[in-house]
Amino acid sequence: MNFQNTLQFAQNLDQQDELKNYKSEFIFPQHNNKNVIYFTGNSLGLQPKRAKKFVDEVMNDWANLAVEGHFYSQKPWWDYHERFANPLSKIVGALPSEVTVMNTLTVNLHLLMVSFYRPTKTRYKIICEEKAFPSDQYMFQSQVHFHGYNQEDAIVEIKRREGEHNIRLEDILEKINEVGNELALVLIGGVNYYTGQVFDMKTITNVGHNVGAVVGFDLAHAAGNIKLDLHNWNVDFASWCSYKYMNSGPGNASGCFIHEKHHNNKELPRFAGWWGNKKENRFLMEQNFNPIESADGWQISNLPILSLAPYLASVELFDEVGMDKILAKRNQITSYLEFILQEIDKEVQGNFEIITPTNQDERACQLSVFFHGEGRSLFEYLMKNGVVTDWREPNVIRFAPVPLYTSYEDMYHFGQILKQGILTH
């Protein structure tokens, strides 16, 4: 498509947009009595209007039924999480039995590493990407220390080549093969939080398995944002937060994937709790743990229903729309944002550098931009003028045009605000 940097062109795209009505499903912060242009769904998604209904439902059941809400509420609490299985499985490309919800992201990754990071004297190394999200880095460090290894030896980071912003797939595969028999685990972010680069998880998984390693992914920036096919890719495990692209609310519950090939492996260690015990025996209060033969078997405590309620509201919205339509709009609106940035760059004779890959197979809806010659003052200008975006040191602003609630007209108006911000600084 030949894009144009005009208001009429942007409005025409909005008229053709199958998802245009979903913008009204979300609540926007206000700036001068208008909706802000919201680019930070990669940090915290907007609140779906339907979320309040789901939360109120739980609150009313708690008020009217108290403990009996576990079994007699409209959505009984004791099996509340099971309502996620079908819609979540479509979002991440899994069997319904392979997904569950519990805890928060890093807690879940730690718990999954109990099962899937099983170092030995000779096979103990973990491969991750350079500049992984800090929480992942701290997790890796604490895990290898817990097992008695030195982090400088046990943690192998795949680095970017000199002068490049993104990690080459061939370098990942080469490092996996190089570490080879010493490699216990490959655990990489499916989408890099800083650059927005999407990794080829299918190929990475295959090569990791070929050298005898377990392969997992942190999907914090991937779930609800990219096409996932975890079951068919044969990924061993994955986890994701729900509050970014999946709009469940700040710090909310995390989703997990455990491939069905591991469900019946009694030799696989895990940290157990009664909610992972088989449902039919759970209230018999038996002494020995008898896990559910699904991802639910990794659950520990009964679930925080008030946290799950807004997540379920959002998951049902995703199921209503379908990932194919979300991804189609994501590709077009991200390309339009890229075009707008390039046009404004020409108009102001700036020096914008988009460090996210240009190939649509290697990016999702985030564009990370170096504004060379501009400082944090540009970010602050955007924020003061109704563009909610995200600053990352040393000089990157991240923009995420989330398909469900950003419009093409938003992209046009953002460009005009950006141009004014540069010309007035």
Strands 352-354 and 367-371: antiparallel
Where does the pLDDT of residue 308 fall: very low under 50, low under 70, confident under 90, or very high at 90 and above? very high
Rg (CA), the chain: 23
Are 112 and 237 a contacting pair, CB within 8 Å?
Answer: yes
- The residues near 210 (Cβ < 8 Å, ≥ 6 apart) are none
**Amino acid identity of 223?**
A
* Structure tokens belonging to residue 386: 């109704």
Give the E-state strand segments of 242-389 in sequence order: 254-258, 352-354, 367-371, 387-388
Q: For residue 220, which phi and psi values (nearest 5 degrees)?
A: -55, -40
Task: Please report how many Cα atoms fall inside a 13 Å half-sphere around the Cα of residue 108, on the Cβ side.
Answer: 30
Give backbone dihedrals phi and psi of 158, rounded to 5 degrees, phi first.
-90, 120
- Residues in contact with 126: Cβ distance below 8 Å, sequence separation at least 6, in sequence order: 117, 140, 143, 144, 154, 155, 156, 184, 185, 186, 187
The answer to whether residues 31 and 22 touch, using CB atoms and an 8 Å cutoff, is no
Tell me the per-residue pLDDT of 7-39, one tens digit each, with 9 for 90 and over: 999 999 999 999 999 999 999 999 999 999 999
Task: Give me the pLDDT at residue 369, please.
Answer: 96
Burial of residue 15 (number of CB atoms within 10 Å: 0-12, 13-18, 19+): exposed
Q: How would residue 131 be classed by pLDDT, with cut points 50, 70 and 90? A: confident
- Quote the tokens at residue 126: 């973990």
Which pLDDT does position 1 carry in this prediction? Answer: 86
Helix (H, G, I), strand (E, B) or coil at 375: coil
**394: confidence class by pLDDT, cuts 50, 70, 90:** confident
Percent of the chain residues topping a pLDDT of 70: 100
Dist CA 242 CA 303 (whole Å):
15
Distance separating alpha carbons of residues 140 and 146, to the nearest angstrom:
10
- Report whether 87 contacts 248 (CB < 8 A): no
Q: Which long-range contacts (CB under 8 A, 24 or more apart) does 261-266 make?
A: 262/115, 262/236, 262/237, 263/97, 263/293, 263/294, 263/295, 263/297, 264/293
Percent of the chain with pLDDT over 90: 92
3-class DSSP state for residue 398? Answer: strand
Cβ pair 342, 83 in contact under 8 A: no
Residue 424 in 3-state DSSP?
A: coil
3-state secondary structure of 218: strand
Predicted pLDDT of residue 76:
97
Q: Are 241 and 105 in contact (CB under 8 A)?
A: yes
35, containing H or E segment? strand 34-35
Which pTM value belongs to this model? 0.96
Task: Name which of 148-152, 210-214, 261-265, 281-285 the model is least confident about.
Answer: 281-285
CA angle 210, 97, 288 (to 5 degrees): 95
CB-side neighbour CA atoms (13 Å) of 65:
17
The structural domains of the chain, ordered by start, are 7-48+322-423 (3.90.1150.10), 53-321 (3.40.640.10)
Cβ–Cβ < 8 Å for 139, 107? no
